[in-house]
Chains A and B, each alone.
Chain A
Amino acid sequence: MILLRLFLVTITLGIASGCATTSTKVVEANPADPYETVNRKVFAFNTFVDTMFLRPIAKAYVAVTPSPVKKGVSNFFGNIGDATSLVNDALQGKPDKISGDLSRVFVNTFFGFGGLYDIGTDLGYEKGEEDYGQTLGHYGMRSGPYVVLPFFGPSSIRDTIGMAPNFALNPVSKLTSSVTAKNTLTALGIVDARAGLFPTEALLQSASLDKYTFLRSAYLQRRQSLVFDGRPPKED
């Protein structure tokens, strides 16, 4: 429920930010990022929240947790992600991906102790890596303006809409009826995701002259590539 409320706030802010910035003049702004002024503020806010809370927690988690446990946690949430991917493989009608993700979810859930072990990878099944945002893209919806969501970070209008089914279905909530367990799992998922970002963070720090621009460009290129399964139409 908290997540849902958070999501609504996010959306509202996103819309409000849209209204607020249309009159702001940015010289030669990137046409993909008409809300840059507000996006940069949200980016700064996210960086602040991360520095104060998420990053230290994730650091501590990495420091105190034995590697096999960390791996198990990542695999567990990866398995949930594969299930989401499977739904989207089906929505997009991609038989190869359906077969890969279905095999992964099946073996990892039933022979990998509920997803703690990633046997599917050892058996050579590839992740489909599909999500609802990509499904919308597959059916012709354009990415729309780039948005930086509070707490969630880089996104686009399309990908933000694509987050809705995830929140509505909330796979984690299907696993247990205990509220405490749900919240614990959700928190663990966030910490696991943040811990996984340390290599990216280091690279971004070292590679970029302006983190905001660098991340925006990487995000938009990456999403475009994912929608077209690695073969996006040529631009220029």
Chain B
Amino acid sequence: MKRMISGFVSTIAAAAVSVCVFGSDIAFAQSPPDALVKAVTMDVTAALKADPTIINSAGKLSNIIEGKLAPNFNFNRMAQVAMGRNWAKASPEQQTMIASEFKSLLVRTYSGALSNYRNNTVDFKPLRLQPTDTDALVRTVIQAGGSPVPIDYSMEKSGDTWKAYDITVAGVSLVTNYREEFNNIVRDQGVDGLIKQLQQKNKG
């Protein structure tokens, strides 16, 4: 049982790591997806090492995440997938609100979780990609003690830009994890109920 628990802990702890692994500037936007993930990882790792106080400052963490991570995620798509068939039930205004609240929730959660992050190294798995591909799974591994934690980024190309629409940490897809929660809330309280709950969560 302890093994199970500790496995789960590393899963969650790694979610934190994944954030700093995945930040970027616009400059990286036209790279292939694996190069993008790698460049961003280096970038953020360097930033974290340069200023060790980042980890203990919620404000600085949020800045890094907002500035480097958020531009590389397609939060609209994430919200859409998490909503599943309920997405169509939401008006365009509701969809915008859900995507924005979902983004805040993720950013807030990770900046908290990131404070557990210490010096870990990241391995990048080679990616085979055809020029015409618009969807890719970039695999990375965080070397966390004796139990390396795999982190996979589901990436999608739109125009010239690759963006992530899901992160799978140690086998746990974040979007899938939210899908059930969202589905239950919409079933019981409607789309507005979900928006309200997300807003409350983000305020709390």
B9: A residues at CB distance < 8 A: 196-197, 199-200
Interface on B for A, CB 8 Å cutoff? 1-9, 11-13, 15-16, 105, 108-109, 112-113, 116, 145-148, 150, 170-173, 176-177, 179-181, 184-185, 187, 197-198, 201
Complex partner residue of B180 from A127, A202, A217, A230, CB under 8 angstroms: A217
Tell me what chain A mostly uses at the interface: helix, strand, loop, or mixed: helix
Interface residues of A in 117-165 (CB under 8 A from B): 118, 120-121, 125-127, 129, 131, 133, 152-153, 159, 163
Given contacts A199-B113, A213-B184, A222-B8, contact A126 B1 (CB under 8 A): no
The answer to whether B187 touches A131, judged by C-beta atoms less than 8 angstroms apart, is no
User: Given the interface contacts A84-B3, A126-B148, A189-B2, does A206 sit within 8 Å of B184 by beta carbon?
Assistant: no
With known contacts A193-B5, A218-B177, A221-B176, A206–B113 Cβ distance under 8 A: yes
Number of contacting residues on A, CB 8 A? 52
Given contacts A207-B105, A222-B171, whether A129 and B7 have CB atoms under 8 Å apart is yes
CB-based contact B2/A200 at 8 Å: no
Residue among B12, B147, B176 making CB contact with A199, cutoff 8 Å: B12
> With contacts A120-B146, A199-B12, A213-B180 known, is A206 near B5, CB below 8 A?
no
Closest 4 CB pairs of A and B: A225-B171, A121-B146, A207-B109, A127-B146
B1-A193 in contact (CB<8A):
yes
Query: Which residue of A has the minimal Cβ distance to B2?
Result: A193
Tell me if A203 and B109 are in contact (CB < 8 A): yes
